[in-house]
Amino acid sequence: MATHDKPILHGYFRSSCSWRVRIAFALKGIEYEQIPVNLIKDGGQQLTDQYKALNPMQQVPVVEMDGITLSQSLAVIQYIDETRPGPKLLPACPKRRAQVRVICDVIASGIQPLQNLYVLQKIGADKVEWAQHFIQRGFQALEPILKETAGTYCVGDELSMADICIVPQVYNAQRFKVDVGQFPTIDRLNQTLEEIEAFRVSHPSCQPDTPADLRA
């Protein structure tokens, strides 16, 4: 089912879910095209009928590749991993693979949705305190998990989908003024991962739709 056409990523520079997919493409060495979807401009470009036809949930990212349209970042990353050569993003060992999925789900289900833009817009004036609370709560759970699983990276000494998830979530934590230093394992892993080229080139500060005042 492989195609020579470049995948197309519909995303937003500061969306952590879009960033996860950018990291996966970079780790695999896959060239792709980006179509920005501004979540704020014009009331939110993700809310248009045109975009809803791509993703009925009206969220980013959406990836078009191999003749299909995929949403939900973890599903996209697993598809990329299963269909493209390069470093594996899920361990071969079932136990380690399960550990990776636990970490991903804590972040992708237990933290990120509670502090994403849509939810914060509904919260209103208390949005910063709300975001801080749920990030803090999630990191309090994630720290002891990672203390058990981590080597150089989140699970042992090989990069995985767990690492792809943790860096954007730490970025969000820092945006909302959560003291990441109180979580030494998370902080160490993030500092290590930030130095890797795939994480650097996919950073929100250097995307085609990054506003000039936020560019690195």
Hey, what domains does the chain have and what are their CATH numbers?
Answer: 8-87 (3.40.30.10), 94-199 (1.20.1050.10)
149 φ, ψ (degrees, to nearest 5): -100, -25
Strands (E), the chain: 8-11, 33-36, 62-65, 68-71
Tens digit of each residue's pLDDT (9 = 90 or more) over 106-163: 999 999 999 999 999 999 999 999 999 999 999 999 999 999 999 999 999 999 999 9
What are the tens digits of pLDDT across the range 151-196?
999 999 999 999 999 999 999 999 999 999 999 999 999 999 999 9
d(CA 214, CA 183): 27
Q: What is the pLDDT of residues 66-83, one digit of tens each?
A: 999 999 999 999 999 999
Task: Provide the token pair at 114.
Answer: 């509670």
Strand order in the sheet with 68-71: 33-36, 8-11, 62-65, 68-71
Nearest CA to 159 out of 147, 168, 150, 146 is that of 150
The DSSP output letter for 16 is H
**Residue 142 tokens, joined:** 């994630």
pLDDT at 3 over 70: no
